[in-house]
């Protein structure tokens, strides 16, 4: 039995005050959502304020990235996993396609970040997904398989208990063009089979695989209906508490 996860990625939006206001509104709208883990990822600077206001609620806080370095060291501008924990985060998003695209992240950096985050006990939401040309040339599964095996390289079965995978086709992110539930299910089933061969069947059966890419209140139920879709990573529609709460309360 895999507990669904609905996570909102606020990206580089909202000042601290706006983040707190949205978080408090969301907290009250999803207080009965015991069927699912609810997670929001504000910007670094808002983590502590948001986490304080969510204490005792069922909404958890994620960071949007962390350093490859697990220890405090000379890395100007970076934030490491224990600092994120210290600021109230219990989850971290790693390898989002925007970080791969704009910050040159590779499967190797993703893997190093995952290991650094695990070292400090964070739950990692590891993002994978092909771009449009890769899908059109029939390479989507090959690309995603490489990202999954590279990003999760060397992780033990115990490590895998703190891994959530987010399949986010790049062509569906922020475009309003969602993968069909069939396309998403096909890739999620493929990822689960890949985990079964790299780790174990039991591990594959328990790992949560989220779909991300233009998830909205009106398409979440169809997506969640699929066997291997265990939740969603939501960008644009998570910025407003009402629409994100409708996604969380999809049932
Ligand atoms: C995302 O950036 O992770 C995402 C899925 O964005 P959107 O929901 O806006 O497509």
pLDDT tens-digit readout, 118-166: 999 999 999 999 999 999 999 999 999 999 999 999 999 999 999 999 9
Q: Whose CA is nearest to atom 3 of ligand 1?
A: 235
Paired residues of 165 in beta bridges: 126, 209
Which of 98, 105, 168, 188 is flagged as catalytic? 168
3-state secondary structure of 204: helix
What separation in Å is there between the alpha carbon of 236 and the centre of ligand 1?
Answer: 6
pLDDT of residue 174 exceeding 90, the answer is no
Q: Residue 210: pLDDT band by 50, 70, 90 thresholds?
A: very high
pLDDT value of position 122 = 98
Nearest to 187 by CA among 227, 243, 246: 227
Mutate to test the pocket of ligand 1, among 41, 214, 240 (most ligand atoms within 8 A of CB): 214
Alpha helical stretches, state H, the chain: 16-29, 47-54, 81-86, 97-102, 107-119, 132-136, 140-151, 157-160, 181-198, 201-206, 220-224, 241-248
Is 188 assigned a catalytic role?
Answer: no
Which segments of the chain are extended strands (E)? Answer: 5-9, 37-41, 59-63, 91-94, 123-128, 163-167, 208-212, 231-234
Q: Which residues line ligand 1 (CB under 6 A)?
A: 9, 168, 173-174, 212-215, 233-237
pLDDT at position 224? 97
Residues facing residue 123 across a β-bridge: 91
Averaged confidence pLDDT in the chain: 97
Residue with CA nearest ligand 1 atom 8 = 235
* Ligand 1 geometric centre to CA of 233 (Å): 7
Q: Which of 40, 220, 234, 248 to mutate to test the pocket of ligand 1 (most atoms within 8 A of CB)?
A: 234
Q: Is 168 a catalytic residue?
A: yes
| pTM above threshold 0.85 | yes
The tokens describing 218, both together, are 């009106």
For the chain, which domains are there? 5-248 (3.20.20.70)
Residue 176: is its pLDDT beyond 90?
A: no
């Amino acid at each position: 039995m895999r507990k669904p996860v609905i996570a909102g990625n606020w990206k580089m939006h909202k000042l601290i005050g706006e983040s707190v206001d949205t978080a408090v509104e969301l907290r009250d709208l999803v207080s009965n959502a015991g069927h699912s883990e609810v997670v929001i990822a504000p910007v670094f600077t808002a983590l502590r304020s948001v986490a304080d206001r969510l204490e005792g609620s069922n909404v958890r806080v994620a960071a949007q990235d962390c350093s490859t370095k697990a220890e405090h060291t000379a890395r100007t501008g970076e934030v490491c996993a224990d600092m994120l924990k210290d600021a109230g985060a219990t989850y971290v998003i790693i390898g989002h396609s925007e970080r791969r695209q704009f910050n040159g992240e590779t499967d190797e950096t993703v893997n190093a970040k995952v290991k650094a985050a695990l070292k400090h006990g964070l739950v990692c939401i590891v993002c994978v997904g092909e771009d449009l040309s890769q899908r059109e040339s029939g390479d989507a599964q090959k690309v995603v398989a490489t990202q999954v095996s590279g990003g999760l390289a060397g992780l033990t079965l115990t490590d895998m208990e703190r891994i959530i995978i987010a399949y986010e086709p790049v062509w569906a992110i922020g475009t309003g063009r969602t993968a069909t539930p069939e396309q998403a299910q096909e890739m999620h089933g493929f990822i689960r089979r890949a985990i079964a061969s790299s780790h174990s069947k039991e591990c594959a059966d328990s790992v949560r695989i989220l779909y991300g890419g233009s998830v909205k209140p009106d398409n979440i139920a169809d997506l969640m209906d699929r066997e291997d879709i265990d939740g969603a990573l939501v960008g644009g529609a998570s910025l407003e508490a009402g629409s994100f709460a409708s996604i969380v309360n999809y049932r």
